[in-house]
Amino acid sequence: MSIHETLIRERTFHNVPGNSKKRVLENASELIAETVESLEAEDIFSGLIGRERLGSTGLGDGVAIPHCRLENCQEVVGTLVKLPEPIDYDSIDGNPVDLLFLLLVPTEATEAHLQTLASLAERFSQEAFRKGLRDSENAEGLYQAFINFN
């Protein structure tokens, strides 16, 4: 599965509020639940926080890819979030995070989950890609910067 297939415009959010990892994940969970009928915000948040307890999903360079498997998830769900200000995220490089790609997958989608995570990590490792996302001024620009990057 292509990472382009996991993200839709309605799950691209610019300037999501939150001054902590927990608050940002909580706010993002609520936004995702509004766009995916089969998922509840509490379940999303619980899954993401549970995964964070195993180790931070902060990759470095201001990027995090919070992810989890969810029982009621029917398809791979990607959500792109740009924060108004970077937050502490316990990232591997110690730097704060301002770009997040949340990934929710069905419990049985192990291989797809790993492949999508690897593709996302590769894309976010590119400085030009991160710059394009950071230069966006609204959700539409953020979405276009994501899908149009080669």
Residues marked active site are found at 67
Give me 106's structure tokens. Answer: 């069905």
HEC string for 60-126: ECCEECCEEEECCCCCCEEEEEEEEEEECCCCCCCCCEEEEEEEEEECCCHHHHHHHHHHHHHHHCC
Report the DSSP beta bridge partners of residue 101.
80
Backbone angles phi, psi at 124, to 5 degrees: -70, -15
CA distance 17 to 44: 17
